[in-house]
Amino acid sequence: MARELLTQDELSELAAELGAWEVSGSELQRTFRFGNFVEAFGFMAAAALVAEKMDHHPNWSNVYSTVDVALNTHDRGGVTELDAALARAMDGLAGAAG
C-alpha cells in the first residue's frame, strides 16, 4: 500500500536509488540548487501542481536559488511510497539542474 511506512530495508533500497536524497528515519531530504530565483520558483510551481494532483505535499523552503525539501507522510509519521514517488517526480522536474 502506498501509504504504509517503508521498512528499513525498503528505505535502504530507496537511498541507493535516490542518490541525491538523504533518507533519515522519518524524512526524505534534498536540497535543489538552481541558477537563480526564477528557476527555483518555476521548479516549485511545477512541483506544486504534481503534489496537488497526488494529494501529497512537500515540506519545503526557498532562499533565492535554493529549495530545501523534506518529504514525509504526515498521516503516517514517516516515509511511504508516496514520498518516494514525489521525490522521483521532483528529480524529473529539476532535470540536470538541481
| 30 in contact with ligand H2B (CB under 6 A) | no
The minimum distance between CB 3 and ligand H2B, in angstroms, equals 8
Strand order, beta sheet including 22-23: 22-23, 28-33, 66-71, 59-63
Binding test (CB under 6 A) with ligand H2B, winner from 73, 90, 93, 94: 73
| 9 in contact with ligand H2B (CB under 6 A) | no
Q: Are 32 and 94 in contact (CB under 8 A)?
A: yes
Distance CA 61, CA 67 (A): 6
| 33 in contact with ligand H2B (CB under 6 A) | no
Binding test (CB under 6 A) with ligand H2B, winner from 7, 9, 35, 74: 74
Bridge partners of residue 30, in order along the sequence: 69
